[in-house]
Amino acid sequence: MRRIALLGIVVLAILIAALALPLVIPGRWGEPRRLTNLNALSKFPKISGNGEVIVFQSDADGDDEIYLINWDGTGLRKVTDNDVSDWAPAIDWSGSRVVFESRASGIEQLFAFDSRSGRLRQLTQNPWPCSQASMSYDGERIAFMGEVAELRHELFSILWDGSGQRRYELPSIRNAMPSLSGDGSKIAYRGKDRSGAPDVFVVDWDGSGFRQLTKGPAIDVHPSISADGSLVAFSSVMDGPWEIYLARSDGSALKRLTRLNASSLHPALSGDGSRVAFESDAAGEWDIWVVNSDGSGLTRVTGAGAEDLEPSLSHDGRRLVYRAKSGLGSEIWAVAYEGPLRWFRLPSPSASPSNRADPPQWDRLCEWWDQGRSSKRSVGLRLEPHKGEKLWRMPYQVR
């Protein structure tokens, strides 16, 4: 009897300890939803750092214009309305500042739009094409590529007010695909060293701190840098097929994140460095995949039915936008990472069983942040009498 009693005490202690531990129910990617219905070729979506606003280009009116739309699908509005092509936008943290390429002045230059004032203006005034803008979170700093001569690409930067244009004097050549960190401190880019293979490089905003992250003969492209400038994701064929890699911006800790043995391209590193979204044809068609920065959690986020391309992640990696191509058109889609449960606690002692006809209805069990709806949700216990006894069954409910 003593052994049975002791065993019962041990089991009870284990149960109490288990209930006292934090309950973590893993999150998951939700169902993708269509943001636009323009019946056009909409592409190059970029989501603001806070995940609230998306900028993209679309030929819905016959030529490429720049559009904005809110995360919840409301507030679709045109930034530009002209008879020339405007494309490849970049956006700041809040979604109030946008920079894009346009031929409005005859050759490709950068233009800036401030949604708070409604002001649209030309940002660069160069005699050669400017393209591939990347913006800091505060919208004050912009990195871009300048084609100063045929097949001669150089890295440049400029401030939001149009001042301080800088040309970076770098040992690499054909410098393109700039990715500016959210804090504006570092620029990752694709260039070539004297061996001729495209590699990934990083330079500080002020032109110092040049370093080469990869070195040929493999092709390394599409760099994406974290907000603090510490991590860089990129695509490479260094181990055979196109895969996604991650390295520290000082060139250390290089690691391969994917082993899909397919074409995995255009990585988008979340600002906090936690996740990388990318496009891959590993399942037989182009889909959006996500992997954690430690290589875990590889997930195919989108499925059959369209070619899903050009992912962009919010700072926290919980909101993702991309374009879904079907036939001759494409639309902008969005998907959110839902959950997990953040914390857990037992019902308070005040919610003890009683013989009242109306038992206590709710005792909050846990709260979690639902990034898909931008709202805090509660999971609670509904306390109900069970067969007239002084016991309570506790089914979960969400409100």
Q: What is the DSSP string of 215-266?
A: -SSS-EEEEEE-TTS-EEEEEE-TTSS-EEEEEETTS-S-EE----SS-EEE
Q: Extract the tokens encoding 152.
A: 């001669």
The tokens of 339 are what? 């959950």
In angstroms, the CA 323 to CA 297 distance is 23
In terms of CATH, what superfamily is 28-338? TolB, C-terminal domain (2.120.10.30)
Q: What is the pLDDT of residues 140-191, one digit of tens each?
A: 999 999 999 887 899 999 999 999 999 999 998 899 999 999 999 999 999 9
The amino acid present at 19, given as its one-letter code, is L
Q: Residue 320's closest CA among 338, 293, 295, 297?
A: 338
Model pLDDT, residue 357: 35
The residues with which 289 forms a beta bridge, in sequence order, are 278, 300
Which residues, other chains included, contact 258 with Cβ-Cβ below 8 Å and sequence gap of 6+?
243, 244, 264, 278, 280, 289, 291, 298
Query: Tokens 């890295």 label which residue?
Result: 155
Please, where in the chain does CATH 2.120.10.30 lie? 28-338
Given a contact cutoff of 8 angstroms between Cβ atoms, the answer to whether 336 and 30 are in contact is yes
DSSP letter for 41, please.
B
Rounded Cα distance, 316 and 320, in Å = 10
Strands, E, within 51-209: which ranges? 53-58, 65-70, 77-78, 86-91, 97-102, 109-114, 119-122, 130-135, 141-149, 152-159, 166-167, 173-180, 186-192, 198-204
pLDDT in tens, 221-252: 999 999 999 999 999 999 999 999 999 999 99
Q: Indicate whether 259 pLDDT > 60.
A: yes
Give per-residue burial for 162-200: e unless 16+ CB within 10 Å, then b. eeebeebeeebeebbbbbbbbbbbbbbbbbbbeeeebbb
Buried b (16+ CB within 10 A) or exposed e, 74-106: eebeebbeeeebbbbbbbbbbbbbbbbbbbbee
Going by the DSSP 8-state scheme, the letter that residue 270 receives in this structure is -
Residue closest to 306 by CA, chosen among 289, 337, 329: 329
Q: What is the DSSP letter of 160?
A: T
What is the CB neighbour count within 10 angstroms for residue 312? 25
Which residues, 6+ apart, have CB-to-CB distance to 269 below 8 Å? 224, 225, 226, 231, 232, 233, 246, 275, 276, 293, 313
Contact 176, 132 (CB under 8 A): yes
Q: According to the model, what pLDDT value does residue 26 have?
A: 75
Q: Other C-beta atoms within 10 Å of 33: how many?
A: 12
Give dist(CA 379, CA 23) in Å, integer.
Answer: 12
**Distance, CA of 42 to CA of 145 (rounded, Å):** 23
Summarize pLDDT for 88-140 with one digit per residue, the tens: 999 999 999 999 999 999 999 999 999 999 999 999 999 999 999 999 999 99
**Over the stretch 294-353, which tens digit does the pLDDT of each residue have?**
999 999 999 878 999 999 999 999 999 999 998 899 999 999 999 875 444 434 333 333
- DSSP three-state, residue 166: strand
